[in-house]
Structure 1
C-alpha cells in the first residue's frame, strides 16, 4: 500500500545520501571517531613482551636469514598505504585512534588529552630515546617530534616486504611495535639506514635499539645483511 508520505520520505533519504557523499572525508572520519568508544588505559599499544629481552633477542638474531637486500629500486612509500590507518590488527589498531596519536599517548610523559576526544594529545613531553633530549609537544604548535619506523619502510622493503600483500604492508606501517616518537632531526639523519650505517647518538639506548630492531625483523620474518647482523650483535653486547 502506498501512502501520501512515501514521496516525501524518499526525498529525505536521497537528500541524506547526497549530504553524506558531499561531506569532506576528514569530517566523515571525525564523525566515525566520535561514534567509536574512546580508548582506555588498557588499549594494547605494544605487544606484551616486546621488545624481547637481551637473551631472546640474541636467539632471534641467530635465527634470522642472512641475505643482501633486494628490489631497493622499486620502493615507494605508497606501497605501505596512504598514511596512518587504524584499520589493522597490529597493536593499537581498531581502537578508534589515529596511529600517530597512539604513539604520542604511549611515548610522551606529562600527557594531557583532549577532554572531548581522548585520542587527541593536547600536550606532553618526549624524552627522546635516540638523543636523550627533552622535547615539548603542543597540539597547536609545530613540533620537533616525529613518528619513526625503527626498521624504516625502505629497509623493510629491501629485507622482504617487497613480496608482502598490501594488507601486510599496511599493518607493518601502523604497528606500534615498529614505531617510536623521536627527535625530528635525528629521525631525518637515521633515514632508512640499517644499524651498520647508523646507530643512535645516545649510547645508553644501544641495547634497546638492538632489541627492538631484532624483534621487528623476527616478528615479520625479514632478512638481515651480514654487516647488519654484526652491528646488531655489537648493539646487543652492550646489554650486559
Structure 2
C-alpha cells in the first residue's frame, strides 16, 4: 500500500510539473489591458449589426509579411510564444514547444500550431474593415504590438473560424477574461463595431476576471 501511495504521489508530481512547464511556455501577447480598461473600451464601442461579407477575401488582408531578415509574421509569433524554439537559416521553427491557452494543449511541432487572429479577418470586415485601405488591413493582419496574434492549436483555430465570442469561446473558461480583454482592446484600437450579442458575450466573459 505504501508503494502504491508513493507511485500515485510521483504521478501527481509529474503531472504538476508538466502543467507548470506548459504554463511557462505560454507567452502573453502584448498590450493586454486591465479589466477596468477593457470595460471602458467596450462601453465606448459602437454597437451595430454586422455588415455584409460581400467583396471579402483574405487576400485583402496581406499576411504573412516579412518582419525581420527572413522571418515573417507567423515565424515571429512562433518564436515569441514558444519555449526553446530553434529555427533554421530560413527562420522556420525546427523544434520547440507551444502551449495553447485556448485548450491547454502543448505541441512540439510547429505544424500543429496556427497563428490565430484574435479578431478574425472576416469578423473585422463585417464590423468596419471593409472600408479600410489595403495598407491598414495589412497592419491589422500582422499586428505584433497589440494582442491580435497568438500561437494556438491548429484545429482549435480552425473550429473558431470567423466567429465572435457570441458563438465561440476558448474551451478553458480560465482564459475567458483574458480573451475578452484582448478582443475588446483590438476592436477599440481599430475602431471596429460590435454587435449586441457579441457585446453581451464579452461582458459576460469579463465577469470571469
Partner residue in 2 for 1:40 = none
Could you tell me which of 178, 193, 202 is aligned with 1:223? 193
User: 1:77-88 residue pairs with structure 2 within 5 A?
Assistant: 77-81=58-62, 83-86=63-66
Name the counterpart of 2:48. Answer: 67
Unaligned runs of 5+ in 1: 1-44, 87-92
- For each residue in 1:142-182, what CA deviation from the matched residue of structure 2 results, as whole angstroms up to 9, or x when unmatched? x2111111100000000100000010001111112311111
Q: Equivalents in 2 of 1:129, 1:52: separation in Å?
A: 17
CA apart distance, 1:212: 0.6
Partner of 1:154: 122
Q: Return the alpha-carbon distance in structure 2 between the equivalents of residues 205 and 194 of structure 1.
A: 15
1:134 aligns with 2:106: yes
Return the alpha-carbon distance in structure 2 between the equivalents of residues 79 and 200 of structure 1.
Answer: 27
Unaligned runs of 5+ in 2: 1-27
Cα distance between partner residues in 2 of 1:194 and 1:144: 23
Where does residue 13 of structure 2 map in the other structure? Answer: none
Answer yes or no: is 1:170 the counterpart of 2:138. Answer: yes
2:87 to 113, 126, 131: 113
Aligned-pair distance for 1:46? 5.9
TM-score computed with the length of structure 2 as normaliser: 0.81
Q: 2:33 aligns with which of 52, 59, 67?
A: 52
In structure 2, relative to structure 1, the CA distance for the partners of 1:46 and 1:183 (3 Å cut) is closer
1:191-215 deviation per Cα after TM superposition (whole angstroms, max 9, x unaligned): 0000010000111110110011001
- 3-state SS in 2 of match to 1:126: strand
Runs of 4+ more than 4 Å apart: none
Q: 2:175 aligns with which of 178, 202, 205?
A: 205
- Residue matched to 1:123: 95
Residue 74 of structure 1, CA deviation: 2.2
Alignment of 1:176-195 (within 5 A): 176=144, 177=146, 178-195=148-165
Instruction: Kindly report the root-mean-square deviation, in angstroms, between the aligned alpha carbons of the 2 structures.
Output: 1.6
Aligned length in residues: 179
TM-score, normalised to structure 1, is 0.71
